[in-house]
Amino acid sequence: MLAERRVLIVLDDAAGEAQVRPLLPGGGGCHVLITSRRRLSGLDVAHAVSLDPLPVADAITLFTRTAGAARVAGSPRHLLAAVVEHCGRLPLAIRVTAARMRSHPTWRLTHLLDRLGDPRQPLRAGQRSVTAALDLSYRNLDEPQRQAYRLLGLDPAADHAVGAAAALLNTHPVRTERLLEQLLDAHLIEEPAPGRYRFHQLVRAHATQAAATVNASERRAALARLLAHHAGLAAEGTRSEDPIGLRRT
């Protein structure tokens, strides 16, 4: 159908490489724009872009346009910045929050911030929900990936090294790194530095809720392994500072 034609093909919310490959044109002259919740690293693409959270200025602009300039006119910029930071500077969360502000004429930014700080108040407006979006990404994982996501949600640390994650998941570090990479491909965790992984703040809240479904015995065992791992690292660090044992009695 596309032979000798110039066509822009848009493939939105692709599930994976296998879904996309049969739809790619074989000849030249066509361009394909693909969006996906996953990193489609298995495709031979010319240019891949991972979308980061918005800069603060852009996040405030999006919130203002969605809520209505009149609704936030005269509001201190630091309050607007606090609102978008609560939203993680994610476009969906900002739009949902701004839509709620728009639909409640009596609300002020201080009231909105109080609600955003209440974990019992989900980010929802009409049919749009941040939790629903994350639920969909979670359901698209296979069971080992979902289990890793739940167990990582037990750890209150700001980020996770592969060794600590391996102790928590009770898997070999090579297998653990593969699972972490799969969660990274699904945009459910970030890699702020090589070998370090962390949740975005809104994803962390979702992962913590998912962790609540882990049964008590499994939770205790996972946390015990994690504490033992950190204790081992601390003991190793102490030995390295005192190589001949002068501090030991």
pLDDT tens digits along 134-192: 888 888 899 999 999 999 999 888 788 999 999 999 999 999 999 999 998 888 888 88
Of 2.60.40, 1.10.3470, 2.40.128, 1.10.10, the CATH number of 142-239 is 1.10.10
DSSP labels for 105-137?
A: TT--HHHHHHHHT-TTS--EETTEEHHHHHHHH
Q: Which two tokens stand for residue 60?
A: 């405030």
pLDDT digits (tens, 9 = 90+) for 205-215: 889 889 999 99
pLDDT digits (tens, 9 = 90+) for 11-38: 998 888 888 888 888 777 788 999 888 8
CA angle 191, 226, 243 (to 5 degrees): 95
CB 37 within 8 A of CB 187: yes
Strand partners, 128: 125
pLDDT of residue 121: 59
pLDDT digits (tens, 9 = 90+) for 49-82: 888 888 999 999 999 999 998 888 888 999 999 9
pLDDT of residue 123: 56
d(CA 64, CA 73): 9
Cα–Cα distances in Å, from 107 out to 63, 68, 69, 86? Answer: 15, 13, 14, 17
Which single residue is written with the structure tokens 């701004």? Answer: 98
CB 113 within 8 A of CB 78: no
Residue 237 makes CB contacts below 8 A (sequence gap 6+) with none
pTM to 2 decimal places = 0.67
Instruction: Delimit the domains of the chain by residue range.
Output: 1-49, 56-126, 142-239
pLDDT band at 128 (very low <50, low <70, confident <90, very high): low
Nearest to 163 by CA among 208, 226, 211: 226
